[in-house]
Amino acid sequence: MTTVVGSMPKPPWLYRQAAMDSKDSDHHGSGADWLLSGQPLKEAQDDAVRLAIYDQESAGVRILSDGEQRRKSYLTHITSQLGGFDYETLAEKWIRDGRRLANVGRCTGPIEWLGPMVVDDLRFLLTHTTAPVKVTLPGPMTVTDSTFDAYYGDERAFAMAVADAINREAKALDALGPAVIQFDEPVFSRYPEKVAEWGIEALNRCSQGLIAQTAVHVCYSYAMPGVPRPIKDSYPQILAELERSQVDQLALEFQAPQLDPALLELCPSKIVLFGCIDNADPEVENFQKIAQRLLAAGEHHDPEKLQAAPDCGLVHLTQASARAKLSALYRGAQLAREILSGHEGGGHHRYEHDHEHGHEH
């Protein structure tokens, strides 16, 4: 089965995308903006969601999102609507384990859920597709890393307050019946010690009491020009910690860093969204190599618990590149399924044969 992590590219008629900037990129949305306002903007965003749905369905994506077409940032779209955050007066802060200096919002009072933030977005998505859908929210450790605490004075207390507020939004979303509610925690890869100390506890608080399947997304953050993207050897530690979490699914980056699929032996009980599409490289992956990666993953994890996915959100690709990559993802997953079913049935499949006979089982 194929799915997405969350974001899709925004159409150029909707949004002026600024160059990725190490200080501003995805924390308070400066340097990029909508091309419309008011009711025309809302209608354009509706159309962009319809297009994102169409692109995913056309590419064979089975569990889809709204492409986060209404969000300037996966993070600040949510945090700026919570009580306790100030995005008028920003603070400079080293984030992502000292990877870069960013201008971030400040926590100046108790974090509070003030009411539904993306519930209407989910309602719109559900009325425009019959496919199962997922909806994403930023996770508490990533929120605490991406903001400046001028109130709590204790990182764990700050994170738990964020978790409680995120959980209230998740419950409001859950009432509409999405298939998956996902919490985005890219910083888990940067702080394995914190994941063990309080990250799993905060994640569990986010996902408490939900009927939908729950997921957590872990990656090494977006690639940015001139900013190092060190691949910290943290997956062995964090996957062992995530195995004991309450979440049902782990959306993991494997393609760009070429991580060893044997790591999946550390999380046998979880459904794994196995990243086999690089979200930073515009070159489209070969679907046969995607199939090989998925089959390699299937040697270390129950194939019934594997889903093919991109490493991360696709927002920084062009629409054409994202469409082609998702299509390759589907064909690769389809080929891997055919080879697996052939092996189970004692048959023999060759890549050339599968290339010629592209029907789904």
The domain ranges of the chain are 15-356
If 0-12 CB within 10 Å is exposed, 13-18 middle and 19+ buried, where does residue 114 land? exposed
CA Rg, the chain, in Å? 20
**111: which residues sit within 8 A by CB, 6+ positions away?**
82, 83, 84, 85, 158, 161, 162, 164, 165
Q: What angle do CA 211, 213, 219 make, to 5 degrees?
A: 140
Q: Would you state the pLDDT for residue 354?
A: 40
Per residue in 46-69, pLDDT (tens digit) is 999 999 999 999 999 999 999 999
Q: Would you state the pLDDT for residue 200?
A: 98
Which fold would CATH assign to domain 15-356?
TIM Barrel (3.20.20)
Per residue in 146-178, pLDDT (tens digit) is 999 999 999 999 999 999 999 999 999 999 999
The DSSP call for residue 17 is P
Q: Would you state the pLDDT for residue 20?
A: 53
Q: How far apart are CA 315 and CA 181, in angstroms?
A: 19
Q: How far apart are CA 18 and CA 32, in angstroms?
A: 5
Provide the 3-class DSSP secondary structure of residue 339.
Answer: helix
Which stretch of DSSP H or E encloses residue 129?
none
Q: Would you state the pLDDT for residue 228?
A: 66
Say which amino acid occupies 173.
L
Distance of CA 222 to CAs 26, 100, 151, 160, 279, Å?
A: 9, 12, 29, 25, 8
Q: Would you state the pLDDT for residue 224?
A: 63
If 0-12 CB within 10 Å is exposed, 13-18 middle and 19+ buried, where does residue 4 land? buried
Stated pTM of the model: 0.91
Residues of the chain predicted below pLDDT 50 = 22, 25-29, 345-361
Sign (positive/negative) of CA torsion 59, 65, 68, 69? positive
Average pLDDT of every residue of the chain = 91
Q: Would you state the pLDDT for residue 209?
A: 98
Q: Would you state the pLDDT for residue 220?
A: 84
